[in-house]
Structure 1
């Protein structure tokens, strides 16, 4: 692994640990049907990095992303599902753009075990802001909007398997806005 890639990975991991610590220290409330606790679910995944042909339209970067996300217990019931805060990050295996994100996530769980989730929030990344290399996306801003979508199946009371998609971009608020999509699978463990 190159020195720059190692530094980038350390930076992202450090941001994830810091964000996780912030989440631990947050105060919330628990659902009366569940034992009290601050952590609702943890998700681990492997995602295809900068997937072409989706929202951003084309691909420049390579590799896979290892994804880790924590969904916290404070919740608000709306439209048959629950809104909860989430914090996560994706580290790219090829030394390309990695990101740390947070936001809110709405998820609907059907009695059959199938669930659907969508979210909105912000992300910070270590990628290029302007076109400097033809194998790196020009993302225009260090802070981006983050939009995730997930559909999956709950395997028992605690485990789940899902297909996950997320998009980051600056919504044309900066000159460069090539955006980036990831797509893959995740395993979830509910506490």
Structure 2
């Protein structure tokens, strides 16, 4: 299963990369605002969830879509993404909304809210796996970055998933890392 997910990610990245020169013909900009690729530290300890059980890194891919709503000087846009654990631990798919503020200096800040589904343990079965309590979790991302030119960006990305104590247990999980963004 993990190999199939990784192959699907590689295929998706290939499609995105190969379509770069054809965006005007393909009209990607009509519905796709930005794609972000990243490498994240999996289940980072000493953050929101407080401790670490799982190991490794995650590959992260996210699409931010063009429909937008302007509020508080920034824009709210829908997002869809996922993170695949390279160590075979918990992977997740998520969707939600992002509010992003872009400063004229190139700095930007983004925060979001949504839901996630995962393939991890619901209850404590192994000491090296988080007990997340529910298959469906809340997803809260925060991102701070710098826009390098009109299309590219580099950022530090954090996300948290948990069931917000709607189920027991609720160990939660945090990821922290870097991402590259390409705006259409």
TM range, smaller chain: 0.7 to 0.9
Instruction: Tell me the equivalent position of 1:127.
Output: 120
Instruction: Tell me the equivalent position of 1:151.
Output: 144
> How many residues are treated as equivalent by the alignment?
167
Please, which of 70, 74, 80 is the counterpart of residue 77 of structure 1? Answer: 70
Q: Does 1:182 align with 2:175?
A: yes
Contact in 2 for aligned 1:145/1:171 (Cα 8 Å): yes
- Following superposition, the deviation at residue 11 of structure 1 comes to 5.4
Is the partner of 2:134 in helix, strand or coil?
A: coil
Contact in 1 for aligned 2:94/2:116 (Cα 8 Å): yes
Q: 1:138 to 1:87 in 2, by over 3 A?
A: same
CA RMSD of aligned residues (A): 1.7
Q: Does 1:113 align with 2:106?
A: yes
Distance (whole Å) between structure 1 residues aligned to residue 169 and residue 8 of structure 2: 27
Moved over 2 A (4+): 8-15
In the TM superposition, 1:25-44 aligns within 5 A as 37-44=30-37
Unpaired segments ≥5 residues, structure 2: 12-27
Per the normalisation by structure 2, the TM-score is 0.87
- Following superposition, the deviation at residue 187 of structure 1 comes to 0.2
Is the partner of 1:10 in helix, strand or coil?
A: helix
Distance (whole Å) between structure 2 residues aligned to residue 63 and residue 181 of structure 1: 13
Instruction: Tell me the equivalent position of 1:10.
Output: 4
Unpaired segments ≥5 residues, structure 1: 1-6, 18-34
Distance (whole Å) between structure 1 residues aligned to residue 136 and residue 89 of structure 2: 17
Per the normalisation by structure 1, the TM-score is 0.84
- Following superposition, the deviation at residue 8 of structure 1 comes to 3.7
Distance (whole Å) between structure 2 residues aligned to residue 121 and residue 9 of structure 1: 27
Is the partner of 2:140 in helix, strand or coil?
A: strand
Q: For residues 35-84 of structure 1, give each alpha carbon's deviation from its aligned partner in whole angstroms, at most 9, with x where no partner exists.
A: 95100000000000000000000000000000000000000000000000
Contact in 2 for aligned 1:12/1:100 (Cα 8 Å): no
